[in-house]
Structure 1
Amino acid sequence: MSQEGQHETTRRGGVRLRGVGKTYGTGEAAVDALDGVDLDVPPGEMVVVLGPSGSGKTTLLNVIGGIEPATAGDIRVSGVELTGRAPRELVGFRREQIGFVFQFFNLVPTLTARENVEVIVELTGRGDRRAVPGLLESVGLADRMDHFPAQLSGGQQQRVSIARALATDPGLVLADEPTGALDVATGKSVLALLQEANRSGRGVLMVTHNVSVARIAHRVVHMHDGRVDAVERNESPADAASVSW
């Protein structure tokens, strides 16, 4: 990797992995979820990670986000070296650098849409509570922000989770199958929101099993058996509205 490339991946939202491994279990029961992964993601890109079930996609997302420690290799995200960090340090890193979007939303059922976003601002000490209504309005929930998750459709709940992920102004958004529980039309609208977040300067790293979604990415990472098989560069990413599946 060139010195220029190394500099790129140390900027806010940039990702650099070298020889990263993640093993679950020990002895004969050991399973290598990640096996010697090398990956460079410049800041500000929309990246899609593709691969069959069990290929290591979600584990890759988790080690990049500091949710799980790697068992081998070096991980640098936004210029922060994650290898060997204590759990408390990883919590601080996530709060400052990462926004998460999950397939099943992970909203607090006893809080309204507005409160689900506000609580992240309060817990992290980042962002501005006064900006939360505008953020929910920007994801199409101006008239639903005082509803509880059970009163919202799946697509609306995912919109809340995207607003929550953006509330702390992260350099990198990690999305794990964000359209997996949604119908096609709603899925497209969620992809459009993630694409808009990317166009506003944030990096977006999205795991999906849907090959068609790769068309919206600047870079497509193909995984198999815990390894990166190939990385493709898309010079002309498609608009989310044009994705078909």
Structure 2
Amino acid sequence: MSETTGPAGQRGSVRLRSVSKTYGSAEAAVYALRDVDLDIEPGELVVVLGPSGSGKTTLLNLIGGIEAADAGQLTVAGEELTERNPAALTGFRRAHIGFVFQYFNLVPTLTAQENIEVIAELTGRGARGRAAELLADVGLAERADHFPAQLSGGQQQRVAVARALITDPDLLLADEPTGALDTATGRRILELLQRSNREGRTVLMVTHNAVIAAIAHRVVRMRDGGVESVERQTEPADVASVAW
């Protein structure tokens, strides 16, 4: 796992206290999050469920340092993020967070391997040599020199997972990672995420698919910008055993 300036026992941890986020102002204001309290422990796999507009993606963006909260206290990997400026948030994100998005976000003019290597170059981690290894881990060693347009959707998402892991992040954030995929391919992506969690990484996944909740240690349900419930599961299911 990557180094952190926070306490070692807090790597991958998340703590929100009365966190709020509003877009717009006055009559046009949209309250995306309202006084959210939430704790995620290191090494957990947490699934966040909720309808469109419930605040799921905003929650992920704040935890990942893509956006800043308007109010409250947000601590990730032992580091307080609420008062950080955009440059500081960018530095924190590169050091500690891996992202997997629904629509892959690969650079079309770079090969699969180059899409992974470029993140290593941006973060200065010197991890370029791991790109081929990660492609092999996700079953795409033979596709290293292919461009995104030459890959299926599932293959592109596997490249995206490998890219998210190249910096060995404390926390892996996944926003609807199977939403654009067929069932069989989506299952393979979930197997990769579950394997990453079992290797010790904290995984936070946003999805609209309630079936996926079976693999989580905890399930967070959101509605209207708030946390409606948090359910702990003592025996998370293996992806392979879930009926889709």
TM-score grouping bracket, smaller chain normalisation: over 0.9
Matched, 1:71 2:32: no
- In the TM superposition, what is the alpha-carbon distance from 1:119 to its structure 2 partner? 0.1
- In the TM superposition, what is the alpha-carbon distance from 1:128 to its structure 2 partner? 1.4
Equivalence map 1:78-97=2 (5 Å): 78-97=77-96
Equivalence map 1:41-190=2 (5 Å): 41-190=40-189
Matched, 1:193 2:192: yes
- The one-letter code matched in structure 1 to 2:48 is V
Deviations 1:137-192 (CA, angstroms, capped at 9, x unpaired): 00010111110000000000000000000000000000000000000000000000
Structure 1 residue runs of 4+, over 4 Å off? 7-10
In structure 2, how many angstroms separate the alpha carbons of the residues matched to 1:237 and 1:150? 36
In structure 2, how many angstroms separate the alpha carbons of the residues matched to 1:113 and 1:59? 29
- In the TM superposition, what is the alpha-carbon distance from 1:54 to its structure 2 partner? 0.5
Equivalence map 1:198-217=2 (5 Å): 198-217=197-216
In structure 2, how many angstroms separate the alpha carbons of the residues matched to 1:243 and 1:120? 33
The alignment partner of 1:49 has SS state of strand
In structure 2, relative to structure 1, the CA distance for the partners of 1:172 and 1:127 (3 Å cut) is farther
Match of 1:37 in 2: 36
Question: Which structure 2 residue ranges, 5 or more long, are not aligned?
Answer: 1-5
The alignment partner of 2:189 has SS state of helix
Indicate if the aligned counterparts of 1:8 and 1:14 stay in contact, CA closer than 8 A.
no
Indicate if the aligned counterparts of 1:127 and 1:167 stay in contact, CA closer than 8 A.
no
- The one-letter code matched in structure 2 to 1:231 is V
Scaled by the length of structure 1, the TM-score of the pair is: 0.95
Q: Which moved more, 1:89-98 or 1:123-132?
A: 123-132
The alignment partner of 1:146 has SS state of coil
Indicate if the aligned counterparts of 2:7 and 2:78 stay in contact, CA closer than 8 A.
no
In structure 1, how many angstroms separate the alpha carbons of the residues matched to 2:167 and 2:213? 27
In structure 2, how many angstroms separate the alpha carbons of the residues matched to 1:207 and 1:65? 13
In structure 2, relative to structure 1, the CA distance for the partners of 1:9 and 1:22 (3 Å cut) is farther
Match of 2:241 in 1: 242
In structure 1, how many angstroms separate the alpha carbons of the residues matched to 2:241 and 2:225? 31
**How many residues are aligned here?**
239
Deviations 1:76-110 (CA, angstroms, capped at 9, x unpaired): 00001001101110000000000000000000000
- In the TM superposition, what is the alpha-carbon distance from 1:244 to its structure 2 partner? 3.0
In structure 1, how many angstroms separate the alpha carbons of the residues matched to 2:196 and 2:126? 16
- The one-letter code matched in structure 2 to 1:37 is V
In structure 1, how many angstroms separate the alpha carbons of the residues matched to 2:159 and 2:173? 15
- In the TM superposition, what is the alpha-carbon distance from 1:243 to its structure 2 partner? 2.5
In structure 1, how many angstroms separate the alpha carbons of the residues matched to 2:153 and 2:76? 31
In structure 2, how many angstroms separate the alpha carbons of the residues matched to 1:160 and 1:180? 16
- The one-letter code matched in structure 2 to 1:33 is A
In structure 2, how many angstroms separate the alpha carbons of the residues matched to 1:10 and 1:63? 22
Scaled by the length of structure 2, the TM-score of the pair is: 0.96
The alignment partner of 1:129 has SS state of coil
After superposition, the CA RMSD in angstroms is 1.3
In structure 2, how many angstroms separate the alpha carbons of the residues matched to 1:98 and 1:126? 13
Deviations 1:2-55 (CA, angstroms, capped at 9, x unpaired): xxxxx9996110000000000001001101000000000001110000000100
The alignment partner of 1:181 has SS state of coil
In structure 1, how many angstroms separate the alpha carbons of the residues matched to 2:72 and 2:178? 31
In structure 1, how many angstroms separate the alpha carbons of the residues matched to 2:7 and 2:119? 29
- The one-letter code matched in structure 1 to 2:179 is G
Question: Which structure 1 residue ranges, 5 or more long, are not aligned?
Answer: 1-6
- In the TM superposition, what is the alpha-carbon distance from 1:231 to its structure 2 partner? 0.5
Q: Percent of aligned positions with the same letter in both sequences?
A: 69
